[in-house]
Amino acid sequence: DIVMTQTPLSLSVTPGQPASISCKSSQSLLHSDGQAYLYWYLQKPGQSPQLLIYEVSSRFSGVPDRFSGSGSGTDFTLKISRVEAEDVGVYYCMQGIHLYTFGQGTKLEIK
């Protein structure tokens, strides 16, 4: 089974400052079709998760451009260029190359 490890598990960010979350997989997420199946979700307090980024770096419809994803192979990163109050919640990465596995989650709070 593929294990997804996120760091940090929590972070506190001043509004307007950047934030970065790392996600490492125990196996390469690069498929033979050339695509890497790594996704990022945000679960805001009291809400269902919502898709932010698909296939490493593509923003889902309606997601602000302050969110960006990067990485390859086993190392991936979600970056928020300027954190806003509405970005609070728990961020999860997920691999989709061999069934599905979520990371433990990273809780983002505002200072």
Partner 1 sequence: VQLVESGGGLVKPGGSLRLSCAASGFSFSSYSMNWVRQAPGKGLEWVSSISSSSSYIYYADSVKGRFTISRDNAKNSLYLQMNSLRAEDTAVYYCATAKAFDIWGQGTMVTVS
* Binding positions for partner 1, rule: CB under 8 A: 1, 37, 39, 41, 43, 48-51, 54-55, 60, 90, 92, 94, 96, 99-105
Cβ at position 90, least distance to partner 1 in Å: 8
- With contact defined as beta carbons under 8 Å apart, do 20 and 7 qualify? no
> Cβ distance 86 to 70 under 8 Å?
no
Work out how close the CB of 67 gets to partner 1 at its nearest, in angstroms, rounded to a whole number. 15
Nearest-approach distance from CB 94 to partner 1, in angstroms: 7
List residues bridging with 41 in a β-sheet: 51, 92
Whether residue 5 contacts residue 100, with contact meaning beta carbons closer than 8 Å, is answered with: no
Q: Which is nearer to partner 1, 3 or 15 (CB)?
A: 3
Of residues 17 and 58, the one with the C-beta less far from partner 1: 58
Strand, coil or helix: what is 26?
coil
* Cβ distance to partner 1 smaller for residue 14 or 109: 109
Residues near 61 by Cβ (< 8 Å), separated by ≥ 6?
none
CB of 44 to partner 1, least distance (A): 12
